[in-house]
Each structure stands twice: as C-alpha cells, then as structure tokens.
Amino acid sequence: MNLRKLFEEQVGTLVSKGYPEQAGWTEAVFRRRLAPLRQHVENLKSDTCDYGKGRLPFVIVITRDLVPVDVAMSIVQRQGKSGHVAMEPVRPEDFEPILKVPTGGVYLLVGIDRGEESLNVRPEDALKMIRKKRRSPLTIEEDIALVTHHPDFLRKNHCFSLLASRRSDQRVPAIWIDGAKRPKLGWCWDRNPHTWLGSASCRRRIGV
C-alpha cells in the first residue's frame, strides 16, 4: 500500500467535506497545517492494513478544538446516509479523553484495529484487553475520523465503542448503524456486552 497516496487522499477527503471552512481556515492554511504529518506517514510500515479484518495503518484526526463533534458527525457519509448524534440526555461535550492526546487540533492515529476480538465483550473488560496488548482505546473524535475517511469500515455487526472518551458514570460512547441505516454516535453502558459492538483501538498517536 502506498501510504503517501493514502495520506493525500485523506487530506483531499477533509477538504472536499468542508473541514477548512469549519475550522475557520483557508484551504491553503489547512493543507499547510497537515503537511508536517506527511513525513511521519512515510516512516510507517505499510503492512498494518487488512481492511477485511478491521485494520488500518493510520487516519488523520481533526479534534473538537477545530470542528465541533456534532458538525463532524453530520459530515460523515455512509452509503448515502449522513451521520448524526443521539446521546440524550448527555452531549458529546460531556465526554473527555481519559488519556493524553496530541495538542493542536490535528494528528495521526496509527495502527488502528476495529476490535473484532472484543465483540460481545463488556467495555470495561475490553479496556483491560486493549491495555494488556499495550494498545490504546479511541476517543470520540478519533472514531469520527475513522468513519469519515473509511465509512464502510463501520459494518453491520462490526461497530465499535470508544473507550477513551468518558464522563463520571458508566456511559461509554459508541458509533453504530441505526435502524435507518445511518451512522449514529450514541452511548451504551460500560457493563453491557453487545454481539454487534466491539471496542476499537490504536497503537499510537503522532502530533505535528
């Protein structure tokens, strides 16, 4: 796989979906802010991609510091359906990362796994599995980035919880396909397993 080509395709996706305007930047400024990530991509191994098994080498992440979560989710398009947020009685802003993520609003999420092994595993137990492998769970913004660039990575019976974004209760954010076949950002309970819901993870994050 040509990782540099994949990087340019992802930049193009963000531009075409209006991310520069949402961030309050011109396209030129937006591309310039992402450019330092290109060198990091070129240093990655290309053998970390197996789409069928739910593995990807990287995605470009744009955080809520630049584009609000509800806006970013509405930009997601899967098979002609727009993404949406339905988290009542809470909001995406109520969830914060439980780990350190790069600052600056843009970074690379590297070595992504959809979480096949954690299907039908309680989120609290899946988190232990992920950490035992020295991997990291994903935040809300990271998973939105994943389905923005690769919408068909979200599949029926292969959706994912976002264990790195939490609040002071047992709610765990997740993205799945709702009854109208739309990508949905909602939440489930930490101690409830679902046969169709795993827990996505990554190997590391790289900032600009």
Residues 6+ apart with CB under 8 A from 10: 59, 60, 149
The reported pLDDT for the residue numbered 42 is 85
**pLDDT tens digits for range 50-94:** 777 788 999 999 999 999 999 999 999 999 999 999 999 999 999
Q: What is the count of structural domains for the chain?
A: 1
Q: What is the pLDDT of residue 208?
A: 85
- Which residues of the chain carry a pLDDT beneath 70? 1, 46-49
Can you give the pLDDT at residue 51? 73
Residue 152 DSSP one-character state: G
Domain extent at residue 157: 3-207
Q: The whole model's pTM is what? A: 0.93
ω into 89 cis (within 30 of 0): yes
pLDDT of residue 29: 97
